Structures are given as structure tokens and as C-alpha cells.
Amino acid sequence: MQTKVTKLLNIKFPILQGGMAWIADASLASAVSNAGGLGIIAAMNADADWLRAEIKKCRAMTDKPFGVNVMLMSPHADAVAKVVVEEKVPVVTTGAGNPSKYIKIWKEAGIIVIPVVASVALAKIVERVGVDAVIAEGCESGGHIGELTTMTVVPQVVDAIKIPVIAAGGIADGRGMVAAFALGASAIQMGTRFLVANECTVSEAYKQKVVSAKDISTVVTGRRLGHPVRSIKNHYTNNYAKLEADSSYSNAELEELGIGSLRRAAKDGDTENGCFLAGQISGLVKKQESAQDIIADIMQGAEKLLNKNWNNL
Ligand code: TUI
């Protein structure tokens, strides 16, 4: 299946893997790229040396295109922005902010740049500064989210810009992919489903949390600090929600609570005190399998639907 995005990225299938903090490393990214999608290493809050080493590991495991996600709220964002240029990373995605100040150096280096946007306004701004495509992400997603749903943000972004749009948020199977195409997207990005891939090195406890989640298992916290995040309900989120609603608790104390919570989930598998970022589609993700089997299942599901007789709805 060829789309504007498979041609842009020189990949076989219109599927990108989300740049999940503490989760999306060289192991997962190379597996997704080897399976014909676009694997992405999450630079998250890590420093330049960590990222450089992951890029080298990824190159040792795949000769296919891959990407790096730059989390713009990271204290190391400036250094990471230079590393992707020095290492000649083929594709950069960005999240949690406006990447405009980096576009010039990335485009001069020949990098394909694809920001995540959560609104029409940012989609128009980044198109104007010369990015190649955007990922329109709905608030069904895990992690840091905007206000709009995938169903509403994707078609509005598609109508507002000329460059290709990739849909993200709440997509985990062939039905989601076809729905994204119907909204005008040229590819999908998935995080939650790839989190449980065999090649994903996240803690087993994290995978179990996703596989055992149901439709209403996620919750949004962090609105008071201006960066809402979606994660799977547990002791950590219950406690966070309680303190967030308590005005005697300061914002500094809330910030403190968040420190180390992603690492505790992803690395330590601490089911009580970890923050298990995951999307609302977790309830649909039922088994662990290889990245290749995940991609094959999505493409088979989508192709079956696209060939369906749509008169019998
Ligand atoms: O970035 C994500 N997901 C993330 S980042 C992350 S690390 C983190 N940890 C704690 C607090 C905050 C972040 C975990 N998950 N997804 C892409 C995304 N970007 N979703 C929403 C946005 C977004 C929102 C507003 C992008 C731009 C934006 O506009 C800001 C502006 O300046 O216009």
C-alpha cells in the first residue's frame, strides 16, 4: 500500500511508532523499521550522549529508515536537536511544543521533519516554516495530550494544510487505520499497541497493565500544571488526582510527585508508584507479539475493510 507518507519516508507500510518516553529505544525502533513501518527512538528527557548511543545501536540493527522524537519540554532539547543533525538521522518528529526554532537547521541537514500537533493553529505554523508532514494527535493518546479528539482534530488539520497528515490517538488495529484514511490521513502513528511488542524492552509489569486494561482504565492528570497526561489508573494517579484537587498542595509539590514516575513504570515495573502512560485504546490491546505480527495484523485488517462492500452498513 503506497501513500504520500510511505513515499515521503521510503517505508513499506503507512505506520509510524510513537516516540514513547523511557519505552521507545533502539530495540523497538529497529524492530518496527525492519517490519516495514517507521521506528522512532524517543529522546525524551535523556541527554545527548544517551541519544547518540541509541542511534548507533539502531543503525547496527536495521538498514531501514528510522526516526528520533524530540520532546520539546526536555531540558536537553537544544543538545538533542544538534545530535540528530550530526548523526544524520533520516526523520525527526517533535512533541509537546512548537518546534519552529529548530526547523531551519534540520531542513538544511536534509532531515524529514514531522511535528506532532494537537490543533489547527500549530499545524498551520509548522507548515509555513517548512516541515514535511504533521502528526495530528487526539487526546485518546497516552502521555501528554491536547484538547481535541482524533475524530475532530484530523479532518480539521487535513482541511487547513496542504502537506500530508498522519493520524494518532486511539488507533490500534485495521479499523482505526481505515477510519484515519476516511478522515483524510495518509498514515497512522501508534504507541500503545507497540508498547506490548516482544521487542519493546519496557518492564513486563507495564505490558501487563496495558494488556489487562479495559476501555475506562485510563485517566488524565496534570491539568493544573498545564501539561495533562493520560495514564493507566493506579495508586500513583489516584494520589496525584487527590493532591491536584487540594489547593493546600503547591504546584512545586505536584511537580515533585512526577519526578521519576515514568522511569519507575518503564524500568522498575513499580505498579504502585509508577506512571503508566498509555492510550484509551489499551482495552483493545490483548496480546504480546512481534512488531512484524502487529503490522501484518493491521495491514490485513485494513485491506479486508477497504475491499468490503460498504452498501451493507
Ligand atoms: O508529546 C507527546 N506525548 C508525551 S511527551 C511526554 S514526556 C512528559 N512528561 C511529563 C509531562 C509532560 C510531558 C509524554 N507523552 N505527544 C505529542 C503531543 N504534542 N501531544 C500534544 C502535543 C502538543 C500540545 C501542544 C504539541 C504542541 C502543542 O502546542 C504548544 C505550542 O507551543 O503551541
Single-letter residue type at 240? Y
Ligand 1 center–CA 35 separation, angstroms: 27
Ligand 1 center–CA 308 separation, angstroms: 37
Q: Which CA distances in Å does 302 have to 171, 299, 307?
A: 12, 5, 9
Integer Cα distance of 307 and 154 in angstroms: 23
Place of cell 527512538: 41
Q: What is the pLDDT of residue 312?
A: 83
Ligand 1 center–CA 313 separation, angstroms: 37
Ligand 1 atom nearest residue 258's Cα:
10
Q: What is the pLDDT of residues 180-225, one digit of tens each?
A: 999 999 999 999 999 999 999 999 999 999 999 999 999 999 999 9
Ligand 1 center–CA 83 separation, angstroms: 21
**Pairing state between β 165-168 and 218-221:** unpaired
Ligand 1 atom nearest residue 18's Cα:
16
Integer Cα distance of 306 and 248 in angstroms: 55
Which residues, 6 or more positions from 202, have their beta carbon under 8 angstroms from its beta carbon? 22, 23, 195, 266
End-to-end CA distance of the chain: 25
Q: What is the pLDDT of residue 313?
A: 84
CB 71 within 8 A of CB 93: no
Of 101, 144, 223, 263, best ligand 1 pocket probe by most atoms within 8 Å of the beta carbon: 144
The length of the chain in residues reads 313
Ligand 1 center–CA 248 separation, angstroms: 27
- Residue nearest (by alpha carbon) to ligand 1 atom 24: 96
Q: What is the pLDDT of residues 54-71, one digit of tens each?
A: 999 999 999 999 999 999
Residues within 6 Å of ligand 1 by CB = 21, 71, 73, 95-98, 116-118, 122, 137, 143-146, 227, 229, 277
What residue ranges of the chain have pLDDT lower than 70? none
